[in-house]
Amino acid sequence: MWNSAIFLHYLRSPYLIEGAGVTLGLSVAAMVLGLACGLVAALMRLSPSRAASGTARFYIWVMRGTPVLVQLIVIYTGLPQLGLRLGVITSAVIGLGVNEGAYLAEIFRAGIIAVPKGQSEAAQALGLSRFQRLRLVVLPQALRIVIPPIGNSFNGMMKTSSLASVISMDELLRRTEMLIQVQFRVLELFAVASVYYLALTTLWGFVQRWIEQRLARADRPLSSSADSSSGGPDGQGVLLSHDAV
C-alpha cells in the first residue's frame, strides 16, 4: 500500500537531494562536452575537406546509431581491456557528452546553414578572414537559431543522465535504487525521484524561456535598423553592421 508518510519523509531526504545535485552537475558537465563535440563535428561536416567531413559523418552515424547505455558500458568496462581505465565520473561525462555531441552537431549545422550567405559575403568584402567571418558573423547569428533546440537537449540530458546509474554513478536514480534495496518501498521512493527530476526540468524550463526572451529582445534593434537601411520591412538590406566586425 502507498504510504504518504514515507513519501514525505524521503522527499526531504538530504541523501536524495544531494543525488539530485550530482545529477545536475553531471548533466551540465556532459552538456558542455557535448556542445564542444557538436560544434567541432558540425564545422567538420561543413568543411570542403572530404576527410574532415567523412570523419564527422562517421562519428555522428555511430553515436546516433547505437544506444547510449551500450556506449557507457563500453567506455567503463570495455576500455580497461584495451589498457585504458577511466573512473565512474569520467566515463559518465564522456559517454553522455560524446553521445549528445552527435545530436548537437546536426543542430549546429542546421543553424549555420540557416544564416544567409550574404552575411558571410559581406564580411568577406570587408576583408575578414574565414575564421573571423565564422566567429564574428556566422556563429553569433546561428546561436540565436539553435538556442531553443539546445535548451530542449539539456532538458533531455537531465533525464538521460539516469542511465549512468548502470555504471555505478552515484546520482539520483542510483541513490534511489540503493534506498529501495534497504527500505523495500519501491513506489514511494521512485515517486520521490520523479518529483526531483520534474523539479530540475521545470526550473530549467524557466531558465530557457528567460534566455529566449533575452535573445528576442536583442534581435529587435537589429531588425529595426535593417528595415530602415533597406527602405522598409520588405527590403533586402544586409544585417551585417560595422559594430559586428
Q: What is the pLDDT of residue 236?
A: 39
**Percentage of residues of the chain with pLDDT beyond 90:** 64
Task: Please give the average per-residue pLDDT across 203-208, as a whole number.
Answer: 93
Q: What is the pLDDT of residue 228?
A: 44
Domain layout of the chain by residue ranges: 4-219
Q: How many CA atoms lie within 13 A of 195 on its CB side?
A: 15
Query: What DSSP element (H or E) covers 198?
Result: helix 186-230
Q: What is the pLDDT of residue 28?
A: 96
Average pLDDT of the chain is 86
SS3 at position 120: helix
Could you write out the DSSP letters of every residue in 122-164?
A: HHHHTT--HHHHIIIIIHHHHHHHHHHHHHHHHHHHHHHGGGG
Q: What is the pLDDT of residue 218?
A: 66
State the amino acid at position 134 in one-letter form: L
SS3 at position 207: helix
Task: Please give the average per-residue pLDDT across 132-151, as a whole number.
Answer: 85
Among 8-17, 47-56, 61-70, 220-229, which stretch is predicted with the lowest mean pLDDT? Answer: 220-229
Q: Which of 113-122, 146-155, 220-229 reaches the highest mean pLDDT?
A: 146-155
CATH homologous superfamily of 4-219 equals MetI-like (1.10.3720.10)
Residue with cell 546536426: 106
